[in-house]
Amino acid sequence: MTIIHGTKPLSSTGDFDIIILSYSSLKSVETLTFKVVILDESHFIKDSEAKRTRSALQLCHRAQRVVLLTGTPAMSRPIELHAQLMSLQPSIIPSRYLFAARYCNAYRSHFGVDMTGHSHTDELHFLLSHFVIRRTKKELGDELPCKTRQLLYIHVT
């Protein structure tokens, strides 16, 4: 296992089976291919226009498996789900604008396309049911371990 800091491009993963990096370091591995990509706090890739999201999508599209983890997949509107769904199944998810037209009640305004609404929510819930496993704290009960905190000092090179 290794931890990557910075954005200097890597040409290979070396002898490491596991690589841990932050979203800000994604650019350093965007040309590499991984068997499995796990994105924690996947709501950080909600903006399709952001460089971070584009780097994450490139990485996910080359992986054999992609797992997204988040407690809040969409903070406030359905369009925030689009990039996350694209990371999982780009072949069946429509373009951002078609997704917005269908599920966000998108319309042209004086400032561009407004994607802040919602529409066809039952259909969207059905679509999400094929991708999402949702567990609440109440459902998990005693299965969740107690919170523990530990300080780890990491030497940055």
Domain 2-143 fold is: Rossmann fold (3.40.50)
pLDDT at 128: 93
User: What pLDDT, on the 0 to 100 scale, is given for residue 144?
Assistant: 85
Whether the per-residue pLDDT at 5 is higher than 80: the answer is no
Domain-wise residue ranges, the chain: 2-143
- The answer to whether residue 78 scores a pLDDT higher than 80 is yes
Token digits of residue 71: 């407690």
Per 3-state DSSP, the chain is made up of helix, strand and coil in percentages (nearest 5) of 35, 15, 50
pLDDT at 37 over 80: yes
